Structure formats: C-alpha cells, structure tokens
Amino acid sequence: MNEGRKRKRTMDYWLLLTIMGLTIFGIVSIFSASMYNSGISGSPFSYFTKQLIFAIIGTILMITISNIDYRKTKQFAPIVMIGVIIMLVLVLFIGTNVNGAKRWIRIGSLGTIQPSEFTKIALILFLAYYIERKKELIRSFRYGILPVIGLALIVCGLIALEPNLSTATIIGALIVGMLIIGGMNLKYFIPVVIAGVGGIVFMIISTPWRLTRMLTFLDPWADIKGAGWQICQSLMALGSGGLLGRGFGQGKAKLLFMPEPQNDFIFAHIGEEMGLIFGIILIAVYLFLIWRCVIIALNAPDSFSMLFCGGMAGLLGLQVFINIGVATALIPVTGMPLPFVSAGASSLISLMCGMGVVLNISKHCNI
C-alpha cells in the first residue's frame, strides 16, 4: 500500500501543455479572424470574449475531471449516453434553426449548445465501457456487434436529420475503429463498412445540395461566384499567405470574403496571416497531441482506458484531417471545427472534458 503511494504518478504535462497552447492560440486566432465581422455588428471583441469564457469553463472542467479516478467516471457512461440521445431528440423539436439546420439548443442568454459535439465524447466513453464489459462477446455479431450497430443507427440517424452528415460519418468511423481495437472479428469489417459507405452515398445523391457540394468539389473554379465561393476563397487565402504570411491581423479574406473564418475555415485564415511554415508547425503540434494520446493508450492499465484514449486519438485525427482537408480542397466542403482552435463552446468544452479523462488515465500509466 505504501509502495503504491510512493509510486503515484502525475498526469502527462506534455499533453496538458499542448492542449492549453492550442486553446490559447485559438483564442488569439479567433480574435484576428472575427474582429472585422464582429466590429460591423457590435464589438470586435465579441467572439474573442466568448471563446475566452468557454476556454475558462472548459479548463476548469478538464482539470476537475482529470482529478476524478477514471474508474469512477466510466460508471456514468450509460447515463451520459442516454442524456445525449435525449438532447439529440430535443434539438429536432426545440433547436435553433440556422440556415435550414437544427443543430443547436439555446440556453437563454448563455448562448447555444450543440448536442452532436457532446455525443462524440459520450459515445467514446460508452463504447469503451461497453466493449470492456462485453469483451468475451465482442467477436459475436449477434451478441456483441449488433447492439452497437443499433446504437449507431439511432445516434447517426438523429444527427443526420439535423442535418449533419459529417458528424454522423465521424461517429460511424469512431464506432468501427473502436470495435476493431476492442477485438471485433474482422470478417464483419467489410460488410459493416460497405453498409456505412452505402448509407453515406445514398444521403449524398438523394439530397440536391449535398450532390452539388460533391460536384463543386471536383471543380470549384467552375462556379467561383456560387457553390465554389467558399473553397476558392479558402485556397486564395492560403496562397496569398505564402511561406511567412501577411502578418497577424493583416489578412484580407476575413473582410467578408471567406465565410466562417473563425470556425470551419480558420486554418485558411491562419495560413493567410501566418504562412505555410506556421501551418506545417500547427499540423505537427496536432500530430504530437495525437501521439501522446496513442502512447497513453498503449500503456493504459486496462481495456477501458486503452479504448477511451484510442477513441480520443481517433476523434482528434479525424477532425483535424477533415477541417484542414476542407480548407485545402482535399475533401468536399463540410462543417467541422478544428480542435481547440475553432470558435464554439460545444466543441471546445466537450473536447476538454474528454481530455480530462485522458489526463486522469495518464496518471495510471508508466510513461
């Protein structure tokens, strides 16, 4: 007992410093990206102030969760999962409609929350809990995988109805990835993936505006003043930044040319003002963050902690790839925040809560 106390380890401070560094950088970048647009309608500090408040709340929650033994946290996984499903149902009825999408629930004067962002973390938590409990049955399709497919259909279906196909796709990919890590028989992998990809293709071709996005992706310059406007402005911003950028606050795309420079296209804004070299450094920082999560997963003391950290590494990797992929025209335009950097309460706070669990797990690892 005394020996265990003597060997008590602290959290992974490299991981903590990386998270806080990205969050602080995000606050500064959001101010630069949004000050012109915010200044027209009110204070140029609007987005900056909100993100600063969100960061403080998220940091408090992250540090608090990091001090709660993850073995106690996982016991709440079923309750948390039920809670987010209820929120996903509620948002379809009482959600705030923005550009035809109901993804946000307004909480009085406090602003809005986006249930789908919290669903990502809740699902990682629940799947890690479920696979650990069903580890002997997870190779069985009927008793191990089929219940997870049922949960995936409910969650992804509700999110797709908002509509938010990109988040539904990420959640589907996370589910498959965590099942593989958890020991799923690989003979079920191809049928599950084919079914998932088939569903995505159907959603795209059956929805005119999604099909237009896909066709625009193939040649955005063909309709530069219409459907190709966002991606063309993003590419021009990145190109005009060159190697070293225009300088902080000197970007031109944010002058109402590029939509959502503080959110979905913040990487293009960063590339314009800080240049290609800094963009590469930012990507390297994300790779380091993901690598730390993987290291913790590989040294985790049990299957739950291994699965949770692996799930968080996968989530971060997918979101970084999609956000930067959209900004650089590698994939079709879709809304996806850049972790810890893009504006938004739900994304920042939910990710910080998830990383709080990872930080607690790191205390139990020999790294």
**At residue 64, what is the residue type?**
T
Q: In what order do the strands lie in the sheet with 101-106?
A: 96-98, 101-106, 112-113
Residue stretches of the chain with pLDDT short of 50: 1-7
pLDDT for residue 102? 85
- pLDDT tens digits along 68-120: 999 999 999 999 999 999 999 999 998 888 777 788 888 876 678 899 999 99
pLDDT for residue 330? 93
pLDDT for residue 226? 85
pLDDT for residue 110? 65
pLDDT for residue 210? 83
The 10 Å Cβ neighbour count of residue 37 is 18
The answer for residues whose C-beta is within 8 angstroms of residue 37's C-beta and 6 or more apart is: 254, 256, 261, 262
* Cα–Cα distances in angstroms (integers) from residue 118 to residues 123, 230, 231, 243, 367, in the given order: 9, 27, 28, 36, 29
pLDDT for residue 2? 42
pLDDT for residue 223? 85
pLDDT for residue 357? 97
Residue 120 CA, chain-centre distance (Å), reads: 8
- Alpha helices in the chain, H assignment, sequence order: 2-6, 13-41, 46-66, 70-73, 77-94, 115-133, 146-160, 165-181, 189-205, 208-218, 229-241, 266-298, 303-327, 345-362
Give buried/exposed letters for 170-195 (b at 16+ CB in 10 A, else e).
bbbebbbbbbebbbbeeebeeebeee
d(CA 144, CA 141): 6
Q: What residues does each domain of the chain span?
A: 10-362
d(CA 201, CA 262): 30
